[in-house]
């Protein structure tokens, strides 16, 4: 397998023995599973709204609370301190751990992934199947849409009134506006529209239960914005 950090080593990227990228939502689930199941630790989980619902399911299974925040460790870090959280994570591949720092550490994240593999004696695909056996399969992707300032303003004005009843055939069961606009979809799926605070971008995210739903859901959400 392969591990890579970004330049300041606060984020981790993971690749399995087949050369397949393991997305950061699955890495978060693996790290949470490692701490709860393999090491037998307990404590709250803190997640940004843009990352996996798998950790919510793991929280239910292991009897620990899960807290959601806006995007960025400016929100995750204080919540981690407030709740004495076991782990905190975000969609960008940054994870923090109790007893270390309330801030992202890509090197420690990578070491924990290696320890998970060593203790279980399994490859990453095998470990993901182990997690999926508990929480069900989950599939994620994101698209970034570059836009002009005027287009960004148009979409910012559009989002408060956007309330579709279904997205690509999946019924919308709720809305969340913690950071952007997240559509809660039937079966535990979700999709989210978020305007970047630092770049002229609209980001659209989704996590669904069937792999073939990912791209249609992303495109359906994009069409809602007219972008």
Average pLDDT over residues 125-154: 95
pTM of the full structure: 0.94
Q: What is the pLDDT of residue 182?
A: 97
Looking at residues 120-135, what average pLDDT do you find?
A: 97
Percentage with pLDDT > 90 across the chain? 94
Closest of 129, 118, 144 to residue 199, by C-alpha: 144
Phi, psi angle pair for 41, to nearest 5°: -85, 160
How far is residue 35's CA from residue 116's CA, in Å, rounded to a whole number?
A: 9
Numbered ranges of CATH 3.40.120.10 in the chain: 2-135
Looking at the predicted structure, is the pLDDT value of residue 197 above 80?
A: no
pLDDT over threshold 80, residue 73: yes
What is the reported pLDDT for 133? Answer: 97
Average pLDDT of the residues in 115-132: 97
Residues in contact with 169: Cβ distance below 8 Å, sequence separation at least 6, in sequence order: none
pLDDT at 193 over 80: yes
| Amino acid 28: pLDDT | 98
Query: What is the DSSP pairing of strand 170-176 with strand 181-185?
Result: antiparallel
> Per-residue DSSP letters for 115-171?
HHHHHHT--HHHHHHHHHHHH---EEEEEEEE--HHHHHHHHHHGGG---SEETTEE
CATH topology of domain 139-225: TATA-Binding Protein (3.30.310)
**Six-digit token string for 36:** 């709860």
Position of tokens 């359906």? 220
Q: Please provide the average confidence, as pLDDT, over all residues in the chain.
A: 96
Q: How confident is the model at residue 200 (pLDDT cuts 50, 70, 90)?
A: confident
12-71 confidence digits (pLDDT tens): 999 999 999 999 999 999 999 999 999 999 999 999 999 999 999 999 999 999 999 999
User: pLDDT of 76-119, one tens digit each?
Assistant: 999 999 999 999 999 999 999 999 999 999 999 999 999 999 99
Q: How confident is the model at residue 198 (pLDDT cuts 50, 70, 90)?
A: confident
| Helix ranges restricted to H, 47-105 | 54-62, 73-83
Query: What does R_g of the chain's alpha carbons equal in angstroms?
Result: 17
Helix and strand numbers (H, E) in the chain are 7, 13
Alpha-carbon span 180 to 154, nearest angstrom = 14
Q: The domain 2-135 is classified under which CATH number: 3.40.50.12780, 3.30.300.30, 3.40.50.2000, 3.40.120.10? A: 3.40.120.10
Give pLDDT, residue 196: 84
CA nearest to 168, candidates 141, 190, 142: 190
Q: Give the pLDDT of residue 227.
A: 82
Domain with CATH 3.30.310.50 in the chain: 139-225
């Amino acid at each position: 397998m392969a591990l890579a950090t970004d330049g300041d080593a606060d984020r981790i990227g993971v690749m399995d023995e087949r050369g397949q990228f393991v997305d950061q939502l699955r890495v978060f689930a693996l790290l949470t599973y490692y701490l709860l199941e393999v090491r037998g630790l307990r404590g709250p989980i803190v997640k940004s709204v843009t990352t996996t619902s798998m950790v919510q399911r793991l929280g239910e299974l292991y009897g620990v609370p899960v807290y959601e925040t806006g995007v960025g460790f400016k929100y995750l870090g204080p919540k981690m301190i407030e709740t004495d959280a076991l782990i905190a994570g975000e969609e960008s591949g940054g994870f923090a751990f109790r007893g270390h720092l309330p801030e992202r550490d890509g090197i420690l994240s990578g070491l924990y992934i290696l320890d998970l593999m060593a203790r279980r004696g399994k490859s990453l695909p095998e470990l993901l199947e182990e997690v999926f056996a508990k929480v069900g399969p989950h599939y994620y992707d994101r698209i970034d849409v570059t836009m002009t300032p005027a287009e960004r303003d148009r979409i910012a004005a559009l989002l408060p009134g956007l309330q579709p009843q279904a997205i690509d055939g999946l019924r919308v069961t709720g809305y969340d506006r913690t950071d952007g606009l997240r559509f809660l979809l039937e079966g535990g799926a979700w999709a989210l529209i978020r305007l970047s605070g630092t770049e002229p971008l609209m980001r659209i995210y989704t996590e669904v239960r069937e792999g073939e739903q990912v791209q249609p859901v992303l495109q359906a959400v994009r069409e809602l914005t007219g972008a």
